[in-house]
Amino acid sequence: MKPLLFYMNASNYAQILEDLHNIPCDKFIVNYTPYPHPHNLARDFFLAHPQYTHLIVQPQDLHVKKEHYEKLIETVEKTGHDVVSCVCNVEREGHPHHNMWAICKKIPSKDKQRRKYNWVPATDEKLGLMEVEFQGMVFTCISRRVIERKMIDGEWAFKGTVHVGNDRFLAAPDLTFAHCCRELAIKQYADTDIRLVHYANHKPSLVNKNLSSTEYIQCHG
């Protein structure tokens, strides 16, 4: 197993970036780039480098440490599942959704007017691996065979999307991907014993302020 870690950097979280560089795998970092481009750049880079078996997706305000990465890899190698995430809080401390995990057993609707996220309540209990229909891209490990998949209309299953518009069916990339997996009968799982911190503090974005760029960092450890 040889994963590539894809990180979307929009706000320069110092501690997240420091711990990111301690994670022992190659990384593809997309800096200050608006949707839908980050996911598409990562997919194209991954497909162009066949040495990688999995793509791991890390959102910009999700704090991941080396031990979290190692446990995720252990879970994927043990189970062989194509899509495995960790869990994190939905919102910052003090918000009603702070005590909810950013995963759903039933997928939210693509229709914005009917969309509701039924978050899984956080618990101190050991629940292990949970099958879900929405994994929220919470440090999600995706196999190459899934990244390579296309839908019946020729669109990639893993793709960037836009967040705004008049189309009532527009959705963020995590929800779009979850629906693609469901339509392709690809099972999704969350390892609820790998619990990450989601800052969710809406730190000012540097997208369209700083110059967009990508970084490819090879691990030599």
Residue given tokens 């190659």 in the structure block: 26
25 — phi, psi (to 5°)?
-155, 165
pLDDT of 166 higher than 60: no
The model carries a pTM of 0.94
Q: What is the pLDDT of residues 122-157, one digit of tens each?
A: 999 899 999 999 999 999 999 999 999 999 999 999
Residue pLDDT, tens place only, 173-207: 999 999 999 999 999 999 999 999 999 877 889 99
Domains of the chain in start order, with CATH, are 3-217 (3.90.550.40)
- Give the chain's mean pLDDT: 93
Distances (CA, A) of 215 to 8, 27, 41: 11, 8, 11
Query: What is the model's pLDDT at position 93?
Result: 75
pLDDT (tens digit, 9 = 90+) per residue, 14-52?
999 999 999 999 999 999 999 889 999 999 999 999 999
